[in-house]
Amino acid sequence: MTTSGRGFCAVAVAALLAGAGACDTLLVSAPPGDTNVADFEAAWRWVDSVYPDFEEKGIDWDSIYAAYRPRAEAAQGDEIRQVLSDLLAVPRDGHLYLATPGGGLLYPYIPTRLLRDRHTFDAQLVPAYLDAPLQRVGGGAVEYGTIGGEVGYIRIASFDPRAVADHFGEVSDVLRSARALILDVRDNNGGDQENVAAVVSCFITSTLTWVQGVEADGVPFEPWDPIQPDASHATYTNPVVVLINGASISAAEILAETMKQLPTVTLVGDTTGGAGCNDRDEMPGDYTLPSDILIHIPTGCVLRYDGVLIEWNGVPPDVRVTQSEADIAAGHDRQLEYAVTFAATGGSK
């Protein structure tokens, strides 16, 4: 999650999964001269200087240098791509990637819960539960409808497009008379903090403090300005269910954690992916190696309100409802079914 919208959030989950552990798209002609060791040295130093989460993950980065330097020395031509990929997989961070001139992006690590849940939700099943076809605003950035005539349903697949901030308020207005509301951010691949604020602002009646961010060595970010209520749209104060799963990552996790603080909101589903590191505004994570390979290393992480890092830990639901590929194959969205029943009966935490 980042205020500039850069990084992991701008890349589709499917593209990440397709590229996981494969360097095929990065194999371009070897750069002139022997830059392999120089690339390794520069990559190791950059990660060492900016990555904020070694201690939490129990990683001894100095020992990683000793293990990987010989591989860099022995690498011939394009083999350094694989060495760098393996090196950058060590932090186990879903926002970390590398790219080569003329090649594609490679994410060396995909969060385990994202891999677990990548086939346990199918948006094409949702319309079967709705009273009418989904309405779409902002080019499809926000989709909405009703279930059983009294429960509102809103689906946000990504917080990357600015259209979420531009159009969520009008959707909130349309559904303001719903007895309860389901906000579905399953498989949401993150995006811009401004979109998250725009959503949260429609559910609060007073200012709400953001989660806290930290950089390397646990130094806190300068606090973000609090989220303000949206005075231009109706404030929704009836019960809200936020649907999450392991493929809800980055800004979607910030949304879930922030909404979780509201007494009217209940998180349902499964723990989010745990991809809670990305750039802090004053320290972009992009770095170009001597051979023009670009690497992106997150420079800050976000804490939950209880002080636990979202990175790796994720945001747990209030009510855990698991869902399997077999459920989807049988045409059942059990998480949505639970949410509908819970919301329709005025469920609360």
Q: Is the pLDDT of residue 210 over 60?
A: yes
Q: How many CB atoms lie within 10 A of CB 79?
A: 16
Domains in the chain (CATH in brackets) are 7-110+279-300 (3.30.750.44), 115-277+302-344 (3.90.226.10)
- pLDDT of 289 over the 70 cut: yes
User: In this predicted structure, which of 4-8, 123-127, 229-233 has the lowest mean pLDDT?
Assistant: 4-8
pLDDT of residue 281: 66
Question: How would residue 280 be classed by pLDDT, with cut points 50, 70 and 90?
Answer: confident
Is the pLDDT assigned to residue 123 strictly greater than 90? yes
The model carries a pTM of: 0.89
Q: How many other C-beta atoms can be found within 10 angstroms of the C-beta atom of residue 282?
A: 10
SS3 letters across the chain: CECCCCHHHHCCHHHHHHHCCCCHHHCCCCCCCCCHHHHHHHHHHHHHHHCCCHHHHCCCHHHHHHHHHHHHHHCCCCHHHHHHHHHHHCCCCCCCEEECCCCCEECCCCCHHHHHHCCCCCHHHHHHHCCCCCEEEHHHCEEEEEECCCEEEEECCCECCCHHHHHHHHHHHHCCCCCEEEEECCCCCCEEHHHHHHHHCCCCCCCECCCCEECHHHCECCCCCCECCCCCCCCCCCCEEEEECCCCCCHHHHHHHHHCCCCCEEEEECCCCCCCEECECCECCEEECCCCCEEECCCEEEECCCCCECCCCCCCCCEECCCCHHHHHCCCCHHHHHHHHHHHCCCCC
What's the confidence (pLDDT) of residue 125?
Answer: 98
Q: pLDDT-based confidence at 223, cuts 50/70/90? A: confident
> What band does 206 get if pLDDT is binned at 50, 70 and 90?
very high
Residue 81 clears pLDDT 50, i.e. is over it = yes
Please compute the mean of the pLDDT values over residues 310-330 and round it to a whole number: 97
- Of the pLDDT bands very low, low, confident and very high (cuts 50, 70, 90), residue 101 is confident
**Cα 159 to Cα 11: distance, rounded to the nearest angstrom:** 11
What pLDDT, on a 0 to 100 scale, did the predictor assign at position 15? Answer: 44
What's the rounded mean pLDDT across residues 249-256? Answer: 97
Token readout for 183 is: 């906000």
Please tell me the number of Cα atoms within 13 Å of 283 on its side-chain side: 21
Q: In the chain, what percentage of residues exceed pLDDT 70? A: 89
pLDDT at 337: 98
- Residue 63 is predicted with a pLDDT of 97
Q: Residue 190 has which token pair?
A: 């993150």
pLDDT (mean) for 266-288: 90
Residue 10 has pLDDT above 90, yes or no: no
* CA count, 13 A, side-chain hemisphere, 63: 6
For residue 156, the model assigns a pLDDT of 98
pLDDT confidence of residue 14: 42
Q: How confident is the model at residue 349 (pLDDT cuts 50, 70, 90)?
A: low
- pLDDT of 196 reads 97
Residue 27, pLDDT above cutoff 60: no
